[in-house]
Amino acid sequence: MLWHDIHSRYPNQWMIVEALTARTDGSRRLIDEMAVVELREDGGGALQRYRELHRQHPEREFYYLHTSREELDIHVRPWRGIRASYSAHAS
């Protein structure tokens, strides 16, 4: 589905979508085709479910979104490397 179709079909809803075809243009991620994975009651629930799905399927491209947006504006964050846990280091 296209965002326009999802936006029209599911007004004012939180959801998790999966990008089926997408590309990067500079610092923006452009999703050409997507599938609705799940509808959620609120943003917190959508974020929690997104994290679960991302952990279970790291190779897939999930997003949590609200359909009040007319257009998608997804920015790509540059990879900063592995985060170290300083609690594991003894002083």
**Phi and psi of 62, rounded to 5°?**
-100, 155
Q: What is the pLDDT of residue 78?
A: 78
Split into its structural domains, the chain has a count of: 1
> Which pTM does this prediction carry?
0.80
Whether residue 85 is contained in a domain is answered as no
Give the residue among 40, 43, 1 at the shortest CA–CA distance from 18.
1
Containing H/E element for 55? Answer: helix 43-56
Rounded CA gap, 59 and 7, in Å? Answer: 25
Q: In which domain, by residue range, is 24 found?
A: 3-77
Whether residue 23 is contained in a domain is answered as yes
pLDDT in tens, 9-63: 999 999 999 999 999 999 999 999 999 999 999 999 999 999 999 999 999 999 9
